[in-house]
Chain A
């Protein structure tokens, strides 16, 4: 029996299935973008909570830092193989950013507590993006992987 996806003239239902799959992928991308925006907003607000000047001597302007963390989270949450690039970018910057927040807010957290909490923030963001980026084990319909698997 012909594979409806591999068939040159696929059955009309195959097109519908592919459209649905495309819609699902679009929704997952939108979700990643929305969550990236939430992480960015959260980081921006957190950085603005700092009141101790020594903790505000950042390398980049505050909005840029928030944008980078939010962008990295979006990238890391995309359901693609290369989302790992985003996940590489999250842990260390996120750790440092939240460490400065926790040490720079009023009143500051003790260093060891701030260290642990910043580590948790960094770990949660990384793990969450990993979970969001999880893809189905079966190859995408119509993709080269799918064709190879079908043959």
Chain B
């Protein structure tokens, strides 16, 4: 109440609260850590609520016994399997249509917020997305809840930061804290959560963000452990043994994992395009998607939901090789169809299961190959290969290699397994980076036409617009003005450039004032100044950013450009010099870099 209702407080208290906020939070690193811990308690609770909601939905919709996971339960009733995802699709489409009517804009996620909007996110949008993901997962769509956890977590943290009016850099850090807390709580893995934030949401690691993000990840994990138990997505009792030769095979597994990841990511877009081509009503897409998931689940019920239960079954080795092979295809298609058809949710969990299944199938083939080559004495560790496959596919899809290495380390407690996973993960990430160039999140941005490749802050460039940087007192002279008149109005040493405008006020070129004082013009001082006008078709617009302006200066080879209201009216609203633009650009670059490493005096006093 104190935070949300500061406007309701009496004036002296309000003033005190504002002062405290400014002094304690804006300029204090310790306060940011405390703030991240506080919000992480709420995020941990939020993750529990989402998990319980989805579990209850599974129990009701699929008739599961209490606390049994959907993808562990071998055989829900056939009519539920066919019907529930379809109904989920219909509900999901209806909810999306209602929400769009109310809030028509695209929901900004944590990565986009940090890259473009300085960490500003809408909490309402985040709750809406979490709600849509709960419907999707709760009704059996083959998507995970991680998108909901990170969206809700970062949305809550962003709102908290906006209430505290923290600086742009700190708000971005808080958004990272929210995502870290969400993932850490979901997987009972604080290190994985923290590195998820570093790799995806913040876009880099620096000492300045280490403490708040680690604190957030740890706090939410402790909250979940205290209230919900220490259950992880899987439990592994087997000891992992890795030989030297295995590392070479892990590299091969990494290459194949990258292919699976790319096929899944592009599959989503192809399905989206296919459905768009059919020009169906909006509600039909998710319903068809639900029907297809239901059809797949009649044979492979393990594709339903996020697949955490199935992951346990796969790691226990209770599924034969041929079923594992089929499950790779089934889970890949079901996940791509779910997301492509319009269910909200991510591919984090799906890629974990897909990768584990792939590793399980691959180890059988590799073992058979070794036996065939007369190396049957070498026994490959089935679990190690499953973990490597899991990490490699998930790293390639999610775009967070270190997160996957730490996730395996935290969930298995096995250092040799983490080393093996490191090889597979690095190779998979490398192959995807060089052949495809995107993770699933950045691929979605690319498809939408949003020019971002991660959580790196590029929004400040957009904020640095020509409109903000220009000088507004642009001196103008009408076309047809004589040299004498021009000299009278603009004495030498005064305004360096004058902008010509026609009778209707449209921009018509720039005149260097010094050129008007050329002695050659003295022979005919009554001639019009128009001939000295240059760059009549070159100008800047107020909404263009500083990089576009600098490119234009370099292309036109001029030092000053007019800024016009719009390309049609061409009304001169100001002007900009290359020197000003360069100065401001380098200053902002320095500021961004200093903020990134957490040293405000990195380049000395401002």
Q: In the complex the two chains form, is A38's CB within 8 Å of B332's CB?
A: yes
Complex alpha-carbon distance, A138 and B274, angstroms: 21
Q: Quick check: is B427 within 8 A (CB to CB) of the other chain?
A: no
Selected from A43, A109, A110, A121, the residue in CB contact (under 8 A) with B326 is: A43
Task: Tell me the B153-187 residues at the A interface (CB within 8 Å).
Answer: none
User: B299 touching A41 by the CB < 8 A rule?
Assistant: no
Interface residue total, chain B, C-beta cutoff 8 A: 24
Given known A-B contacts A42-B329, A109-B78, A48 and B298 have beta carbons under 8 A apart: no
A45 within 8 A of B: yes
Residue A45 contacts which of B74, B295, B322 (CB distance < 8 angstroms)? B322
Task: Kindly identify, within residues 81 to 114 of chain A, every residue whose CB is under 8 Å from any CB belonging to chain B.
Answer: 98, 101-102, 105-107, 109-110, 113
A34 interface hit (Cβ, 8 Å):
yes
Query: Roughly how many angstroms separate A117 CA and B299 CA in the complex, as a whole number?
Result: 10
What are 9 A-B contacts with C-beta separation under 8 Å? A41-B329, A42-B326, A44-B325, A45-B323, A45-B324, A45-B326, A47-B322, A48-B322, A120-B295
A130 CB to nearest chain B CB (Å)? 12
Q: Is the interface of A mostly helix, strand, loop or mixed?
A: helix
Kindly identify which residue among A49, A62, A110 contacts B299, using a CB–CB cutoff of 8 Å. Answer: A49
**Which chain B residues lie closer than 8 Å to A34 at the CB level?**
263
For B274, what are the chain A residues with a Cβ–Cβ distance below 8 Å?
A: 131
Scan residues 430-446 of chain B and give those whose CB is less than 8 A from a CB of chain A. none
Chain A residues within 8 Å of chain B by Cβ, number: 27
**Nearest B residue to A43, CB-CB:** B326
Interface centre among B263, B325, B333 (most CB of A within 10 A): B325
Min CB distance A97 to B, Å, is 11
Contacts of B295 in A (CB 8 A): 117, 120-121, 124
Across-interface contacts of B263 in A (CB, < 8 A): 34
Question: CB-nearest residue of chain A relative to B270?
Answer: A31
A73 to chain B, nearest CB (A): 12
Q: Apart from A109-B78, A124-B292, what are 18 other A-B pairs with CB-CB below 8 Å?
A: A34-B263, A42-B326, A42-B330, A42-B333, A44-B322, A45-B299, A45-B324, A45-B325, A46-B299, A46-B326, A101-B299, A102-B298, A107-B78, A113-B78, A117-B82, A120-B295, A124-B295, A131-B274
B380 on the A face (CB < 8 A)? no
Q: 1/0 per residue A38-72: CB within 8 Å of B?
A: 11011111111100000000000010000000000
Determine the chain B residues whose CB is within 8 A of the CB of A45 once the complex forms. 299-300, 322-327, 329-330
Interface residues of B (CB under 8 A from A): 74-75, 78-79, 82, 263, 274, 292, 295, 298-300, 320, 322-330, 332-333
| CA–CA, A124 and B293, complex, Å | 13
- A44–B78 contact, CB under 8 A? no
**A110 to B82 Cα, complex, angstroms:** 13
Residue of A at shortest CB range from B266? A31
> Please, how many angstroms separate the alpha-carbon atoms of A120 and B299 in the complex?
13
A102 CB to nearest B CB, Å: 6
A48 touches B320 (CB 8 A): yes
Q: What's the Cα separation between A106 and B75 when bound, in Å?
A: 8
Q: Are B298 and A117 in contact (CB under 8 A)?
A: yes
Bound Cα distance from A39 to B332, whole angstroms: 12
* A82 CB, nearest partner CB in chain B, Å: 24
Given known pairs A45-B322, A48-B320, A49-B323, the reply for A110 and B78 (CB within 8 Å) is yes
8 nearest A-B pairs in the assembled complex, by CB-CB distance: A45-B326, A48-B322, A42-B329, A41-B329, A38-B329, A41-B325, A46-B299, A45-B323
Tell whether, in the assembled complex, residue B322 and residue A62 are in contact, meaning their CB atoms are under 8 Å apart: yes
